């Protein structure tokens, strides 16, 4: 069984310098390396580098997957854009880890080989499908984090009696708006982590509609920036001038947006949050009802198709019944061709005539004529076999 591993890194906020490029080139002679990217595939052996350290020190995004089921996506954001404190409530051991390093928040979305199931030789992924998550998270859109929490929850086994407390005690984090209308990167993460679609649908029932993008209020933004400490503004400008940090514009806009939209969770919000047991139970009920509806719709469609076929056959037999003698003549002509194809058409026509005679109460006349056909064509074994196969009378 052939093994396959894929590694990809992206430097988004700043490109790697020459020293850093030399550092990563020493890790692989086959990788495609640029100041902003690193890509390599392995059909045997393993990557020599420490992927976690590479993201902590050099890269802003990392994607890994293997055909035996393991999957990993790591994103690094400046802590000023997304704090570990804001992301931590969405962390579950099975799907998302959160930590800080050198002024950055790191998010590790993962699916282990044990959770991945069977070997997968078909799926292909690229960081381009996921990198938009980073900008969304920086702008305060936490749907990607909630998706990861759902992925971890979906990996839990049905609770045993002695585990019920864990299922009741685990309460969902704050539900972001817009779960029912995920973006492309968020939908890609759903597929990547194998989120149960029924669990996602149930979770989305408690999610407000996604807010419409609003134009930036220049005066409000200016007031927000004016309130920032002078030391912080000086540091932002210095880092921007030296190119040692991302440009401050997106960071300030994200902080401004978060300051307007965020607020403490009310007691009512906390009371309405669902437990793991409630979500998993609701997803099971939703799946059962959806499966039942699908089965009913399939049965209804099958009945409609059968009714349509029946009506079409009735119309066909009605037309044929208008001149049955001509149909018998056609049977004689087809048999006279002494070929397999015409034999098949003749037998089909005889089957129709049998039903017409049965409906009109003249089956005995049909049997007499088929008996005469058998007597005339006894020397045609291929035709006789066709007669026998469809149960034509054999007096």
DSSP 4-39: -EEEEEE--SS---HHHHHHHHTT-SSSEEETTEEE
pLDDT of 341 higher than 60: yes
What mean pLDDT is reported for the chain? 88
373-382: average pLDDT:
93
78-96: average pLDDT:
93
Higher local confidence (pLDDT), 330 or 156: 330
Taking CA atoms, 147 is separated from 123, 140, 172, 178, 304, in Å, by 20, 15, 11, 12, 39
CB half-sphere exposure, 233, CA atoms < 13 A:
8
219-233: average pLDDT:
85
Determine the distance from the C-alpha atom of residue 334 to the mean position of all C-alpha atoms in its chain, rounded to a whole number.
Answer: 54
CA–CA gap between residue 295 and residue 300 (Å, rounded): 9
Q: For residue 271, count CB atoms less than 10 angstroms from its CB and return exposed for 0-12, middle for 13-18, buried for 19 or more.
A: exposed
117-134 tens-digit pLDDT: 567 777 889 999 999 999
CA–CA gap between residue 74 and residue 9 (Å, rounded): 9
18-45 tens-digit pLDDT: 999 999 999 988 899 999 999 999 988 8
Q: Which long-range contacts (CB under 8 A, 24 or more apart) does 221-229 make?
A: 221/252, 221/253, 221/256, 224/252, 224/255, 224/256, 224/259, 225/252, 225/256
For residue 122 the two structure tokens come to 């078909």
CB half-sphere exposure, 82, CA atoms < 13 A:
24
Please list the alpha-helical segments (H only) found in the chain.
Answer: 18-25, 51-57, 84-87, 113-116, 132-138, 143-154, 164-169, 184-193, 197-204, 218-226, 230-242, 248-261, 267-272, 276-321, 324-336, 340-360, 363-376, 381-389
pLDDT of 195 higher than 90: yes
Q: Which residues of 317-349 are buried (b: 16+ CB within 10 A; e: fewer)?
A: eeebbeebeebeeebeebbeeeeeebbeebbeb
Give the confidence band of 250 by pLDDT, cuts at 50, 70, 90.
low
Q: Give the pLDDT confidence score for residue 244 in this predicted structure.
A: 62
DSSP 8-state class, residue 162: G
Q: Could you tell me what percent of the chain has a pLDDT over 90?
A: 69
pLDDT of 103 higher than 60: yes
Among 184-193, 220-229, 367-376, the minimum mean pLDDT is found in 220-229
Q: For residue 142, count CB atoms less than 10 angstroms from its CB and return exposed for 0-12, middle for 13-18, buried for 19 or more.
A: buried
Q: For residue 38, count CB atoms less than 10 angstroms from its CB and return exposed for 0-12, middle for 13-18, buried for 19 or more.
A: buried
Does the global pTM surpass 0.85? no
Among 17-26, 45-54, 227-236, 237-246, the minimum mean pLDDT is found in 237-246
Q: Give the pLDDT confidence score for residue 162 in this predicted structure.
A: 47
49-63: average pLDDT:
96
pLDDT of 183 higher than 60: yes
């Amino acid at each position: 069984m052939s093994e396959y591993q894929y590694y990809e890194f992206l430097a988004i906020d700043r490109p790697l310098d020459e020293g850093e490029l030399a550092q990563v080139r020493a890790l692989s002679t086959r990788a495609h390396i640029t100041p902003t990217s690193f890509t390599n595939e392995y059909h045997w052996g393993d990557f020599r580098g420490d992927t976690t350290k590479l993201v902590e020190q050099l890269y802003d995004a990392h994607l890994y997957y293997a055909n035996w089921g393991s999957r990993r996506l790591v994103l690094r954001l400046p802590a000023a854009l997304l704090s570990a404190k804001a992301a931590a409530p969405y962390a579950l051991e099975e799907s998302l880890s959160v930590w800080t390093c050198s002024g950055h928040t790191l998010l590790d979305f993962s699916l282990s080989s044990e959770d991945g199931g069977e070997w997968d030789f078909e799926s292909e992924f690229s960081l381009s499908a996921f990198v938009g998550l980073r900008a969304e998270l920086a702008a305060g859109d936490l749907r990607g984090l909630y998706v990861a929490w759902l992925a971890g929850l979906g990996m839990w086994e049905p609770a045993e009696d002695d585990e019920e407390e864990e299922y009741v005690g685990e309460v969902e984090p704050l539900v972001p708006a817009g779960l029912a209308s995920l973006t492309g990167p968020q939908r890609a993460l759903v597929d990547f982590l194998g989120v149960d679609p029924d669990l996602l649908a149930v979770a989305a029932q408690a999610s407000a509609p996604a807010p419409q993008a609003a134009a930036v209020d220049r005066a409000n933004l200016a007031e927000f920036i004016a309130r920032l400490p002078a030391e912080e503004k000086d540091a932002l400008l210095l880092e921007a001038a030296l190119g040692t940090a991302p440009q401050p514009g997106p960071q300030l806009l994200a902080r401004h947006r978060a300051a307007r939209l965020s607020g403490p969770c009310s007691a009512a919000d906390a009371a309405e949050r669902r437990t793991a047991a409630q979500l998993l139970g609701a997803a099971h009920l939703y799946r059962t009802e959806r499966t039942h509806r699908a089965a009913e719709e399939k049965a209804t469609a099958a009945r409609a198709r059968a009714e349509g076929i029946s009506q079409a056959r009735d119309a066909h037999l009605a037309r044929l019944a208008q001149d049955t003698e001509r149909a018998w003549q056609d049977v004689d002509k087809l048999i006279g061709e002494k070929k397999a194809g015409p034999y098949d058409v003749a037998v089909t026509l005889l089957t129709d005539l049998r039903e017409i005679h049965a409906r009109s109460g003249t089956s005995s006349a049909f049997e007499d004529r088929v008996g005469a056909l058998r007597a005339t064509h006894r020397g045609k074994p291929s035709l006789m076999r066709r007669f026998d196969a469809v149960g034509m009378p054999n007096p």
